[in-house]
Amino acid sequence: MANRIVKVFPRFERFWHWTQMALIFTLIFTGFGLNGLHGLIGFKIAVMLHTLAALVLLGVWLFATFWLFTTGTWKQFLPRADGMFEVARFYAWGVFRGEDHPYRKLFWRKHNPLQAATYFVLKWMIFPAIWSTGLVYLTYNFWEPLPNAVFWLEIVANLHLLAAYVIVSFVIIHVYLLTVGHGFREHVKPMVTGFDEIDLTPEQEAYLEQNEPWRLKH
Amino acid sequence: MRRLASIVWLVLGLGVWLGLAGNGLAQDETGATPPPDRVTAPNTSTADHSKFEILQQSFASGPEVTAACLSCHTEADDQFMHTIHFQWEYESSAGQMLGKKNVLNAFCGNVAGNEPRCTSCHAGYGWDNMNQPPPAQSTAVDCLACHDRSGQYTKLADAAGHPPLEPVKAGAMTITGQPAWAVDLAKAAQSVGQPGRDNCGNCHFYGGGGDNVKHGDLSSVLYEPPLAVDVHMSPEGENFTCSTCHVSDQHEWAGSRYDVHASDPTGTGKPGARRDLATCESCHSNDPHPSTLIGMKLNDHVDVVACQTCHIPEFARGGVATKTMWDWSTAGRLSPEGKPMHEENYIQSDGTALHTYLSTKGDFEWGEDVVPHYAWFDGQVEYTTGDQTIDPEKVVEVNRIHGARDDGKSRIWPFKLMEGRQAYDAGFDKLAYSHVWGPTTDTAFWTNFDWSRAIEAGMKAAGSEYSGDYGFVDTHMYWPITHMVAPASDAVACAECHAQDARLAGLAGIYMPGTETMSWVGILGRLMVLAVILGVLGHGLLRLVTRRKGGSHHG
With beta carbons under 8 A apart, name residues in chain A contacting B554.
100, 181-183
Interface of B with A in 466-505 (CB under 8 A): 493-495, 498-500
The model's confidence at residue B25, banded by pLDDT at 50, 70 and 90, is very low
Q: How far is B519 from chain A (nearest CA, A)?
A: 8
pLDDT digits (tens, 9 = 90+) for B376-415: 999 999 999 999 999 999 999 999 999 999 898 999 999 9
Q: Is the peptide bond before B340 cis (omega within 30 degrees of 0)?
A: no
Inform me whether the pLDDT recorded for B548 exceeds 80: no
| Residue B405 forms contact with A (CB below 8 Å) | yes
Mean pLDDT of B524-553: 85
Reported as half-sphere exposure (CB side, CA atoms, 13 A), residue B416 has a value of 30
Confidence (pLDDT) at B551: 45
Q: What ranges do the domains of chain A cover?
A: 2-213
Mean pLDDT of chain B: 91
Give, rounded to a whole angstrom, the gap between the first and last alpha carbons of chain B.
117
Lowest mean pLDDT among B255-259, B327-331, B495-499: B255-259
- ipTM for the whole complex: 0.91
Predicted confidence band of residue B24 (pLDDT cuts 50, 70, 90)? very low
Average pLDDT over residues B137-162: 96
Instruction: Summarize pLDDT for A82-116 with one digit per residue, the tens.
Output: 888 888 898 888 888 888 888 888 777 788 888 88
In the prediction, which pLDDT does B16 show? 47
User: Is the pLDDT assigned to residue B199 strictly greater than 80?
Assistant: yes
pLDDT digits (tens, 9 = 90+) for A18-40: 999 999 999 999 999 999 999 99
Q: Which residue has the higher pLDDT, B268 or B349?
A: B349
Instruction: Name the percent of chain A lying above pLDDT 70.
Output: 100
pLDDT at B131 over 60: yes
Beta strands in B322-427 (DSSP E): 322-327, 342-343, 346-347, 353-354, 357-358, 362-367, 373-377, 381-383, 396-397, 399-401, 411-425
Confidence bin at B273 (pLDDT 50/70/90): low
Indicate if the pLDDT at residue B22 is higher than 60.
Answer: no
- Backbone CA torsion sign across A139, A140, A141, A146: positive
Considering only CB atoms, which chain A residues are within 8 Å of B553?
98
Task: Work out whether the CA dihedral B361, B364, B369, B370 comes out positive or negative.
Answer: negative
Q: What is the pLDDT of residue B21?
A: 42
Cβ-based burial of B518 (10 A; exposed 0-12, middle 13-18, buried ≥19): exposed
B255: left (phi over 0), alpha (psi -120 to 50) or beta: left
B15-to-A22, A138, B2, B6, B371 alpha-carbon distances in Å: 86, 80, 20, 14, 55
Q: How many CB pairs under 8 A join A and B?
A: 100
**pLDDT reported for residue B268:** 75
| Higher pLDDT pick, B318 / B272 | B318
Q: Cβ–Cβ of B552/A153 closer than 8 Å?
A: no
Residue A102's pLDDT is: 84
Q: Of B272, B281, B382, which is closest to residue B289 (Cα–Cα)?
A: B281
| Mean pLDDT across chain A | 91
- What percentage of chain B reaches a pLDDT higher than 90? 81
Compute the average pLDDT of residues B344-354: 96
What is the reported pLDDT for A149? 93
Instruction: Give pLDDT, residue B28.
Output: 55
| pLDDT at B103 exceeding the cut of 90 | yes
- Give the whole-angstrom CA distance, residue B199 versus residue B183: 15
Q: Distance between CA B89 and CA B434 in Å, rounded?
A: 20
pLDDT band at B257 (very low <50, low <70, confident <90, very high): confident
Question: Where is average pLDDT lowest: B22-31, B149-158, B268-277, B356-365?
Answer: B22-31
Per-residue model confidence (pLDDT) at position B146: 97
With 0-12 CB in 10 A as exposed, 13-18 as middle and 19+ as buried, what is A163? buried
Please tell me which residue of chain B has the smallest CA distance to A30.
B514
Higher-confidence residue: B338 or A183? B338
The 10s digit of each residue's pLDDT in A55-74 is 999 999 999 999 999 998 88
- Residue B27: pLDDT above 80? no
Residue B491 predicted with pLDDT over 50: yes
What is the mean pLDDT of the segment spanning A152-158?
A: 96
Question: The domain A2-213: what is its CATH number?
Answer: 1.20.950.20
Higher-confidence residue: B365 or B29? Answer: B365
Question: Which amino acid, one-letter code, is at A160?
Answer: H
Residue B55, pLDDT above cutoff 60: yes
Tell me the average pLDDT across B152-158: 96
pLDDT at A2 over 90: no
Rounded to a whole number of angstroms, the distance from the CA of B539 to the nearest CA of chain A is 8
pLDDT at B26 over 50: no
Out of A52, A100, A181, name the one closest to residue B293 (CB): A52
Nearest CA in chain B to A147: B406
The residue among B533 and A7 whose pLDDT is bigger is B533
Subunit contact B543:A168, Cβ cutoff 8 A = no
**The pLDDT value given to residue B353:** 96
